[in-house]
Amino acid sequence: MKQKQNKARNQQQKTQTEPKVPPKELTFLEHLHELRSRLFWIVLTLILTSALAFQIKDLLIDIVMAPLHGEQLVYLTPGGGFSFIFTLCIYFGALLTIPVAIYHIYRFLQPLLQSASRRFVATFIFLSGLLATAGTLFGYFVAIPAALNFLTTFAGDTVIPNLTADSYLGFVVAYVLGLAALFQIPLLLFLFDHIRPIPPGGLSSTQQYVIIGATVAAAIITPTPDAMNMAIIAVPIIVVYEIGAFAVFIRHQFRKKAAAKMAAKAVRQEQLRQKTVLQRQLAQEQEQLVPRPHSSVSQPSSSTPQAAHMVTARPPRRTMDGFITATRTSSTRVSVPMRPQPASRPIHTTRTVPGRPIRSLDGLSMV
């Protein structure tokens, strides 16, 4: 454990001490070379997954034939059976290759994205995969059985259905891929609102156009123009659009709350700034009102007590008899404290007090 901790510390120190080298800009030919290599890996993944699908072709056929409830398919050309198996394996391999393709596209565009954009793109890809999976499951378990039940029983007993392998596989793929793409509408609305905010009420005012567009899309996806089959596709599109509009509405509410918080924060900062400015002005006015001490008066040191007596005397001198030592008339300096000034230390001044004469022993000489 200690060795691992030491290695981790050494790596952190190396990363901190080593200067950050900016990423090298690639030339146009280098970008083409990178794009070619990434396309190579995508195609190689498609080939490998298709080969894997061929190994489990019986399981895939059972999954595709499940909505028919035991009905058999026919093919009209000698290569119809091979074409059905080959196309089914390619579709399954393409489905497994989608995550790899998204990863390589993301890595190719990663140098152009910042950290926030990278998180946004990763979240976008994850949500897109979830919505595509939801659309695929809805198409397989709901839309395809309902459409087959309606289409095969619409003509009654006079016409017996005899489906070919190619037509049925195209029908299933159109439903599954079409619904997987249509379930991306909420995410696309959210993306459009992120790039350019949609005005409030803009989505609700376009609902009639969405209904017409959903009907046209259902007519393109479904092979027959009957109303029931189109409704199976158009109704989920309208519901998904309403979900996207509700998501955009929730995002606008969060934006309003965030804008209100930012405005309140700006107001508080402005009030605090004005308060600090007023406090500084008041402090400056108080400093101007306080009287300053005169420069000629010497202030006492902080280390000496106030009202201390300072005596200065000249050196002693002998009298005429040579025995008596007397002191010359000296002056004594007494430190007298003045009246304390407000907001300042007590100021001391000095005055001179004349010394008394000193008589000698003979009573004659005075100094």
Q: What is the pLDDT of residue 330?
A: 45
Q: How confident is the model at residue 302 (pLDDT cuts 50, 70, 90)?
A: very low
Asked if pLDDT for residue 47 goes beyond 90, the answer is yes
Q: What is the pLDDT of residue 76?
A: 84
Q: What is the pLDDT of residue 320?
A: 56
pLDDT tens readout for residues 183-239: 888 888 877 777 777 776 777 777 788 888 888 877 776 656 667 777 877 888 888
The highest-confidence range among 14-23, 139-148, 190-199, by mean pLDDT, is 139-148
Per the CB < 8 A criterion, the answer to whether 360 and 319 are in contact is yes
Beta bridge partners of 164: 74
Which two structure tokens, joined as six digits, stand for 59?
A: 């399981």
Q: How confident is the model at residue 327 (pLDDT cuts 50, 70, 90)?
A: very low
DSSP string, 75-134: -SSTTHHHHHHHHHHHHHHHHHHHHHHHHHHHHHHGGG--HHHHHHHHHHHHHHHHHHHH
Q: Which residues of 5-22 are buried (b: 16+ CB within 10 A; e: fewer)?
A: eeeeeeeeeeeeeeeeee
Q: What is the pLDDT of residue 19?
A: 47
91 vs 83: CA distance, rounded Å = 12
Q: How confident is the model at residue 171 (pLDDT cuts 50, 70, 90)?
A: confident
pLDDT tens readout for residues 257-293: 888 888 889 999 998 998 898 888 888 888 887 766 5
Q: Pick the residue with more confidence: 70 or 315?
A: 70
Q: How confident is the model at residue 39 (pLDDT cuts 50, 70, 90)?
A: very high
Q: What is the pLDDT of residue 305?
A: 46
pTM reported for the whole predicted model: 0.58
List the one residue out of 112, 237, 238, 253 whose CA is nearest residue 193. Answer: 253
Q: Pick the residue with more confidence: 4 or 59?
A: 59
CA dihedral 70, 76, 79, 85 (to 10 degrees): -20
pLDDT tens readout for residues 97-141: 988 888 888 888 777 766 667 777 788 888 888 888 888 888 888
pLDDT tens readout for residues 50-109: 999 999 999 999 999 988 888 888 888 888 888 999 999 999 999 889 888 888 888 887
